[in-house]
Amino acid sequence: MSVTVTEAAARHVTRYISKRGRGVGVRLGVKTTGCSGLAYKLEYADEVAPEDVIFEGHGIKILIDPKSLPYLDGTELDFVREGLNEGFKFRNPREKDRCGCGESFRV
């Protein structure tokens, strides 16, 4: 099982953690919500939990709880600019469908 991060996402995370003055990486998971069933959740992590599965790439840590890992296996975390918008993008090969508003997905 693996989760990867692009250089662009790693640069963004590194800059943000530097501005915050603390942090060990990002915590990526899924939650049950929306019309398709699951939504990504992403937050900056200040510490590693004992149960976290840790992936590293381009100098940052991605922390994932074991319950979310089956839904995220193979996912690439990217940071993109599209027009005036910018944000994290999840490229998940397990994703089979996404709701019309783009908030939730199913595997």
In this structure, what token pair is assigned to residue 64?
Answer: 């994932």
Query: Where are the domains positioned within the chain?
Result: 4-106
How many Å apart are CA 65 and CA 14, to the nearest integer?
Answer: 21
Q: Which CATH number fits domain 4-106: 3.30.70.141, 2.60.300.12, 2.40.30.10, 3.40.50.1100?
A: 2.60.300.12
Answer yes or no: are the C-beta atoms of 69 and 17 closer than 8 Å: no
- pLDDT digit of tens for each residue in the chain (107 aa)? 799 999 999 999 999 999 999 999 999 999 887 665 888 899 999 999 999 999 999 999 999 999 999 999 999 999 999 888 999 999 988 877 666 555 656 67
